[in-house]
Structure formats: structure tokens, C-alpha cells
Amino acid sequence: MEFGHTHAGRPGVSAMSMQAPIPILRMFDEVKARAFYIDYLGFQVVFEHRFEPDLPLYMEVVRGACRLHLSEHHGDCTPGSAVRIKVDDAQAMAAELAGKSYKPLRPGIETTPWDTYEVCLTDPFGNRIILYADKPL
């Protein structure tokens, strides 16, 4: 790629495309992370990595097209982050979660001024997960 290459008439912007980001969320307890992300939200583990058996865990979870990385490593990310995840049907997602037994949360659904339906969750480590769908026109 040559500096100054143009894309859509904009100097310095290459034609290289970008893919969807994969957020890294901080976790502190593997058992609590699995209870929230796997058992409650329905993600599946793609991979798990530790440099040694007693060192921090780094793992990827997936549900549909949504991928998240969860890390016990202190330098990877900051606890208390927020992630917005688009879902096909926020009402159906809220109903699915309501049908599961997860004592720390009983989320409802909100209608926002920017025309979305949102289910707002907080994981055991202070990260906010906002599941949203656009309101039909």
C-alpha cells in the first residue's frame, strides 16, 4: 500500500476493509464468567489459553456472529467497560433471559429516545452488556 492512496476520493484512506471488532472484557473469576456468559447468555467457548496451568485465563466466546474475548490478565482491558451488541429481537432476548435462573439479574427491556429496544446487563465484573434492536419503522 502506498502512502497517499485514495479511497472514495479521500486522501490517505486505503481500500483495505475492516472487520467487526472483538471486544476484550475483563474477568476476575472463571466460574462466575462461565455462569454469566455460557450458562446465562448462551455463548459457547471457542478457545481457552493459559501460559501455565495456574496463570490467568484468556478465552473467546461466541453466540451467532457475536464474538467476545474474556481475559483475567490485568493489562488487557479495564473492568467496567460497556459493549453494545445488536440482536434480532430484543423482546425475545429479554424473554429468553427471564426464563433462566440467574439470581444477580432480572433485566427488563427499555425503549430509548433513539428508537431502540435495549436489555441492559452488568456482568459479575462490572462490564455492561447492552443487547439492543432497532424499533421497527
Please state the pTM of the whole predicted model: 0.86
More confident: 26 or 7: 26
Q: Which residues pair with 25 in a beta bridge?
A: 70
Is residue 5 classed as helix, strand or coil in its secondary structure? coil
Residues 121-137, mean pLDDT to the nearest whole number: 94
CA 27 vs. chain centroid, Å, equals: 13
pLDDT band for 137, please (50, 70, 90 cuts).
confident
For the residues 18-46, what does the mean pLDDT come to? 96
Q: 60-105: per-residue pLDDT in tens?
A: 999 999 999 999 998 899 889 999 999 999 999 999 999 998 888 8
Residue-by-residue DSSP string for 61-102: EEETTEEEEEE--TTT--TT-EEEEE-S-HHHHHHHHHTS--
Which domains does the chain carry? 24-134 (3.10.180.10)
How high is the pLDDT of residue 15? 76
Q: Is the pLDDT of residue 3 over 60?
A: no
pLDDT (0 to 100) of residue 8: 57
- Are the beta carbons of 120 and 21 closer than 8 angstroms? no
Straight-line distance from the first to the last Cα atom of the chain, in angstroms, rounded to the nearest whole number: 42
Q: Give the model's pLDDT for residue 1.
A: 44
